[in-house]
């Protein structure tokens, strides 16, 4: 039995067209989109259709509408827009894609650890130490443990102050957490597992850039082994 295919609406067609024009650089960050009059002429759609398309782009965070001034391309990374791009990957349902996710985290987190080690502050070390504190409740609950584990890694990402990495990790939250929950359910000593982050933190505290990088890469490698063993 053939499944019904929903036709693309005029609104969605305008949304996709404007997204493509932004992606291709026709309208860069902070650039003003053509006026409503111009866009109506270009797309030959109704005013209602165009306004709905603009509203959808604004909801995605791709553009910002300034009352009385027009629509402008956002100059910040939208988590919802990035999540929209990443959704088709669905790594939690595909072992190959999960390997890709682990590899990406390995490359990114190792460099982040090295970067933080270059100029860490005492406040940052204290902040990271706090992320490793686990109560008995957390250690006994795979979901809570996964959340705490994610928080440590996300804390490193936040300290990198790289807005793309921060947005990417927020967009990948459900994917990474799904992996960490499965990992948490498979290990007997969660306290020991959490303490495996400690050498990375110590290397950062000692401002040992290469060691921090190497240990973060090694830690991610353990995650890669876990994925491989589950295939």
- Model pLDDT, residue 94: 62
Element (H, E) at 72: strand 70-73
CA distance 189 to 176: 20
Q: What percent of the chain has pLDDT over 90?
A: 32
Residues in Cβ contact with 50 at an 8 Å cutoff, skipping those fewer than 6 apart: 14, 36, 39, 40, 43
Per-residue pLDDT reduced to its tens digit, 14-38: 998 998 898 888 988 889 999 999 9
Per-residue pLDDT reduced to its tens digit, 78-129: 666 666 656 555 555 566 677 777 788 888 889 999 999 999 999 999 999 9
Token pair for residue 160?
A: 């990198």
- Model pLDDT, residue 83: 63
Mean pLDDT of 41-45: 94
Determine contact, residues 64/71, Cβ cutoff 8 Å: yes
- More confidently predicted of 231 and 52: 52
- Model pLDDT, residue 5: 47
Question: Which domains, and CATH codes, for the chain?
Answer: 10-76 (1.10.10.10), 82-230 (1.20.120.530)
Three-state secondary structure call for residue 30? coil
Average pLDDT, the chain: 83
Per-residue pLDDT reduced to its tens digit, 158-205: 999 888 888 788 777 777 887 788 877 877 778 888 888 999 999 999
């Amino acid at each position: 039995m053939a499944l019904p295919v929903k036709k693309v609406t005029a609104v969605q067609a305008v949304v996709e067209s404007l997204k493509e024009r932004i992606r291709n650089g026709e309208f860069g960050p902070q650039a003003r989109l053509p006026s409503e009059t111009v866009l109506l002429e270009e797309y030959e759609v109704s005013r209602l259709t165009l306004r709905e398309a603009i509203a959808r782009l604004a909801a995605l965070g791709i553009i910002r509408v300034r009352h009385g001034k027009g629509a402008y391309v956002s100059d910040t990374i939208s988590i919802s827009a990035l999540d929209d791009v990443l959704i088709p990957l669905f790594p939690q349902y595909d072992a190959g894609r999960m390997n890709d996710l682990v590899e990406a985290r390995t490359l990114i987190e190792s460099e982040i650890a090295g970067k933080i080690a270059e100029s860490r502050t005492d406040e940052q070390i204290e902040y990271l130490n706090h992320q490793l504190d686990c109560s008995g409740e957390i250690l006994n609950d795979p979901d809570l443990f996964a959340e705490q584990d994610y928080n440590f890694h996300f804390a490193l990402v936040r300290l990198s102050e790289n807005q793309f990495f921060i947005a990417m990790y927020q967009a990948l939250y459900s994917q990474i957490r799904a992996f960490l929950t499965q990992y948490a359910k498979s290990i007997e000593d969660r306290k020991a597992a959490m303490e495996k982050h400690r050498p990375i933190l110590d290397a950062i505290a000692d401002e040992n850039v290469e060691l921090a990088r190497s240990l973060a890469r090694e830690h991610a490698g353990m995650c890669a082994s876990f994925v491989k063993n589950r295939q």
